[in-house]
Amino acid sequence: MAKVLVTAPIPKAAQTILQQAGLTVDTYTGSGLITPAELEKRIVGQDYLITPLSTQVDQTIIDADPDLKLIANYGAGFNNIDVAYARQKNIPVTNTPKVSTTSTAEVAVGLILAVTHRLVEGDQLMRTSGFDGWAPLFFLGHQLAGKTLGIIGMGQIGQAVAKRLAAFDMDIVYYQRKPLPNDQAQALNATYLPLDDVIKRSDVLTIHAPLTPETHHLLTAESFAAMKDTAYLINAARGPIIDEAALLKALQNNELAGAALDVYEAEPQVDDGFKALKNVVITPHVGNATVEARDAMAQIVADNVVRVERGDAPLNVVN
């Protein structure tokens, strides 16, 4: 009977699919993330690996299990896996694209509203000292209508964000390696610009690009210096796309109006400097943390394992 190692608890739908297919499922349920040592030990003799993007699967892990037939990553990203080495070993790596789009786009919009309208800051105020009552100049934020939204990465999530914020009467500019086809860009009322221009023009700059060697530290101290000092930066993509130390310094020096972060360069660690700033909203990587998205992701990883077990090619192969 084929064996499946699942390195973190995932929705029960996946377990049901796997067991109905006659597979033996071993799920890690220890406290915190599975350690590299524990993963290296438990993967031995497994036929399939289902793992969240918080778990690193490197050459050592892959070499520990010569029987491995598939690595099914529970997440749209896959930078936690050495996909090139897996390809050398003829092990397909799959991800769970598309099903995270709506949830992540909604979270990005929520972060934008929260930081520009100071909602989290207001909540904290009401839970502590309270306020003296409505006043014309009290606790002012900024409306989105008439402002420019800059999007870095106009894939499915970037497009979903553009669609939603067009309804807020924002002007939309974007950058990615290749412009969208004209009909898609027109449907979104989005204008392609070089990266430097998007950075300079944006009142709200939101990141929706994948993490690759080319996008690592795509935004640096120079980028933040070029932004408007009234602009806000949003990151619900991957932490290392931003030079986080440079961002913190820019915020401390009032080079930006604020930031909202759902991902971090040394995740799950968050620099205490961000926690000390009232104009920064920080959330614990909840971009696709909805019942709907996580159930759909569970269905995808389990279905891919079953497909390979019955001799079919898996879907959403990234290597």
What are the residue numbers of the active site?
A: 238, 267, 285
Could you give the CA distance from residue 68 to residue 85 in angstroms, rounded to a whole number? 13
Q: Enter the tokens of residue 275.
A: 């926690």
Residue 31: which residues within 8 A CB-CB, separation 6 or more?
none
Count of H-run helices and E-run strands, the chain: 13, 12
Q: Give the span between the Cα atoms of 166 and 300, in whole angstroms.
A: 31
Q: Rounded to whole angstroms, what are the CA distances from 276 to 104, 248, 270, 273?
A: 26, 11, 11, 5
The structure tokens listed for 243 are 């030079």
| Contact in structure between 4 and 18 (CB atoms under 8 Å) | yes
- Three-state DSSP class for residue 124: helix
The token pair at 1 is: 């009977």
Q: Which two tokens stand for residue 179?
A: 């412009």
